[in-house]
Structure 1
Amino acid sequence: MGTFKLIALSNPVEGKDEEFNAWYADEHVADILAIPGIRHAERFRLATEKGKYKYLAVYEIEADDVNVPLTELRRRLRSGEIVLSESMQQDDVLLGAYATI
């Protein structure tokens, strides 16, 4: 069983920080944690004035093959089981999966 981190960098739509953070905390994190293999989530806000992305989410994944939970995540997004908020800039999200070394 391997341990991985899924990193998500994102921004809210201008002026919608409060709505974005409420959706993320109250809905989105639970949706992601419902995927088998995704065990833990942490969120961070940019601490400096400069940076392209204002928010960072780090999800811990435990799986033999990281592609299994990631494929399920994509499936749930495509099917509408996971709905992204209109308060998030959906056209500029950076995702990456990393293996523990």
Structure 2
Amino acid sequence: MARYIILAFTNPIEGREAEYHHWYDTIAVPAYKTIPGLVHHGRYRIADVPKHYDFARDSEWQYCSLYSFETDDYEDFAANAGAALAAVKEYSFSDTIDKASFFEPTFVQMD
């Protein structure tokens, strides 16, 4: 079975940080936990630590959420995820997220 991770890199709209965190904590995370097979590994903020390499660029994101799942049929998993989220009446993508900087890549394990 293939193993995947999703990294959701986000920034809140300036001045709406409290609403952004409230949405994640009370709407998004509970909704994502209804997706069969999806494991939520937590929310993270950028750490104020030195770069590991001088040539590394600065992060444009303040926050990252990490999720994982295993499947032999990605399209089926995605369809089931969409159906699970659609069944959560309170869920919608928050307008507190800066969509211009939103980045949510999915990676598949190589080995």
Q: TM-score, normalised by structure 2?
A: 0.73
Asked if 1:55 is matched to 2:63, the reply is yes
Q: Distance in 1 between matches of 2:85 and 2:40?
A: 19
Asked if 1:70 is matched to 2:71, the reply is no
Distance 1:86 1:15, change over 3 A: same
Distance 1:39 1:80, change over 3 A: closer
Larger radius of gyration: 2
Query: Could you tell me how far 1:96 is from its partner in structure 2?
Result: 1.0
When the two structures are aligned, how many residues end up with a matched partner?
Answer: 101
Distance 1:35 1:16, change over 3 A: same
Structure 1 alignment gaps of length 5 or more = none
Cα RMSD after superposing both structures: 2.6
Q: Distance in 1 between matches of 2:106 and 2:94?
A: 22
Name the structure where strand makes up a greater proportion of residues: 1
Higher mean C-alpha displacement, 45-54 vs 8-17? 45-54
Percent sequence identity is 24
| SS at structure 2 position matched to 1:34 | coil
